[in-house]
């Protein structure tokens, strides 16, 4: 008879982020498309975004965040067993961005892969990493959430270009060492019926790149903003309630709600429905815009800097993105 494996508890043991120095603010955007600072701020909550210089790719930002998280943890790249890069904007189809990050940081003892979860890239990747570590097969996973959204944003489409920015975050997932300070659980969903509401139509096997796809601007994000907005509010609340209830908690127990940063109004609507006061909601979208897989680590880092996140806090992460993907991770902050 085969014994069931004993699963270990896991924790996020370190966090670091990187954003490129280039800034694209609302004033500059209003010289590029027919928009205003007032419209963008009121409808989205965004003031500025960080944008990479030409030639800088997702693996470059991922490398910076990875080296920073290793430095914070006092570790070397050789200490990593597996790298997972959550991204929608890989440097290229192949090799994977995980392989590029591995090479750029010189992590010689690991394997790895990319995870395509769109805006749920970080929540999905953390929970996969947690499962890999919990079995005992891996001791240390490097999770990178990184996106170069400026590479797929149409800067002639005012309804989309105001929303996105570039950035990266990295965490280490290791076995838990202190009682209760751990990744408690996760709940995820995927619903492909939402595909047409948010997609980049060309460049893949369905519509390979041709002069025509380029002329038709099919290599950029196409979005039904209102459909995504409504789905995001409803599902953020739903997945948050699900992960809390399944683990015996209510929204009152949450110290900090760190949602994917797509639109200030989406986050606050979901928080209101959950009965969470603004004091328990982390929002930093004004400084970065929507950086897809990087928003949650960027928000966690700012929460720490602002003294709003400390060891032992019950933290609820939630995300909704293209696919549609829906993710949530419930954890006690262990750093
Ligand atoms: O991670 C997931 C990624 N995506 C999202 O989360 C997006 C979710 N959706 C949204 O955040 C919002 O739907 C948007 C911010 C994209 C749009 O806000 P909205 O309040 O839903 O605006 P709307 O689409 O209903 O458009 C209202 C008006 C329209 O003009 P008319 O038809 O009323 O004359 C738009 O053409 O606002 C116009 N508009 C703009 N005006 C100035 C759209 N974009 C802009 C703009 N500046 N940048």
* pLDDT tens string 138-175: 999 999 999 999 999 999 999 999 999 999 999 999 99
pLDDT at 215: 98
Q: Measured from the CB, is residue 44 less than 6 Å from ligand 1?
A: yes
Cβ-Cβ contacts under 8 Å for 258 (sequence gap 6 or more)? 282, 296, 299, 300, 303, 315, 316, 317, 318
Q: Measured from the CB, is residue 203 less than 6 Å from ligand 1?
A: no
pLDDT at 238: 98
In angstroms, what is the span from residue 34 Cα to ligand 1's centroid?
Answer: 12
Task: Tell which of 119, 149, 175 closes a domain.
Answer: 175
Calpha distance 290→149 (Å, rounded) = 8
Mean pLDDT of all residues belonging to the chain:
97
* pLDDT tens string 207-252: 999 999 999 999 999 999 999 999 999 999 999 999 999 999 999 9
Number of domains in the chain: 2
pTM tops 0.75, yes or no: yes
Confidence class of residue 189 from pLDDT cuts 50, 70 and 90? very high
pLDDT at 79: 98
Statement: residue 6 has pLDDT above 90: no
CATH code at 155?
3.40.47.10
Ligand 1 atom 29: residue of nearest CA: 159
Ligand 1 atom 37: residue of nearest CA: 159
Statement: residue 2 has pLDDT above 70: no
Q: Is 183 helix (H, G, I), strand (E, B) or coil?
A: strand
End-to-end CA distance of the chain: 39
If one residue of 88, 119, 225 were mutated to test the ligand 1 pocket, choosing by the most ligand atoms within 8 A of its CB, it would be 225
Statement: residue 303 has pLDDT above 90: yes
Task: Tell which of 149, 175, 201 closes a domain.
Answer: 175
Structure tokens at 41: 């701020």
Task: Give the whole-number percent of the chain exceeding pLDDT 90.
Answer: 98
Q: Is 51 helix (H, G, I), strand (E, B) or coil?
A: coil
Ligand 1 atom 5: residue of nearest CA: 262
Q: Measured from the CB, is residue 134 less than 6 Å from ligand 1?
A: no
Task: Tell which of 125, 145, 175 closes a domain.
Answer: 175
* pLDDT tens string 244-275: 999 999 999 999 999 999 999 999 999 999 99
**Structural domain that includes position 230:** 183-332
Together in a domain, 228 and 125: no
Structure tokens at 198: 């948010």
Confidence class of residue 55 from pLDDT cuts 50, 70 and 90? very high
Just list the catalytic residues.
119, 260, 290
């Amino acid at each position: 008879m085969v014994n069931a494996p004993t699963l270990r508890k896991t924790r996020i043991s370190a966090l670091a982020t990187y954003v490129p120095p280039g800034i694209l603010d609302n004033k500059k955007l209003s010289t590029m498309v027919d928009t205003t600072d007032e419209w963008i701020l009121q409808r989205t909550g965004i003031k500025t975004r960080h944008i990479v210089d030409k030639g800088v790719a997702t693996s470059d930002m991922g490398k910076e965040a990875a080296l920073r998280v290793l430095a914070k943890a006092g570790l070397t790249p050789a200490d990593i067993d597996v790298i997972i890069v959550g991204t929608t904007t890989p440097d290229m189809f192949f090799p994977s961005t995980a392989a590029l990050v591995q090479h750029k940081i010189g992590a010689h003892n690991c394997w790895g892969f990319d995870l395509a979860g769109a805006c749920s890239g970080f929540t999905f990747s953390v929970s996969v990493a947690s499962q890999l570590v919990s079995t005992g097969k891996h001791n240390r996973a490097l999770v990178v959430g990184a996106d170069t959204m400026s590479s797929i944003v149409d800067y002639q489409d005012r309804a989309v270009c105001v929303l996105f920015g570039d950035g990266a975050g990295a965490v280490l997932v290791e076995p838990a060492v202190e009682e209760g300070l751990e990744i408690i659980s996760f709940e995820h969903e995927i619903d492909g019926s939402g595909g047409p509401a948010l997609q980049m139509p060309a460049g893949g096997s369905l519509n390979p790149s041709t002069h025509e796809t380029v002329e038709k601007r099919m290599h950029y994000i196409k979005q039904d903003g209102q459909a995504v907005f409504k789905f995001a509010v409803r599902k953020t609340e739903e997945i948050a309630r699900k992960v809390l209830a399944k683990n015996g908690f209510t929204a009152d127990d949450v110290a900090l709600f760190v949602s994917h940063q797509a639109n200030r109004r989406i986050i606050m609507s979901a928080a209101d429905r959950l009965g969470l006061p603004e004091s328990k909601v982390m929002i930093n979208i004004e400084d970065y815009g929507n950086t897809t897989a990087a928003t949650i680590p960027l928000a966690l880092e700012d929460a720490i800097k602002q003294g709003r996140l400390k060891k032992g806090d019950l933290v609820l992460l939630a995300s909704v993105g293209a696919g549609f993907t829906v993710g949530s991770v419930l954890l006690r902050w262990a750093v």
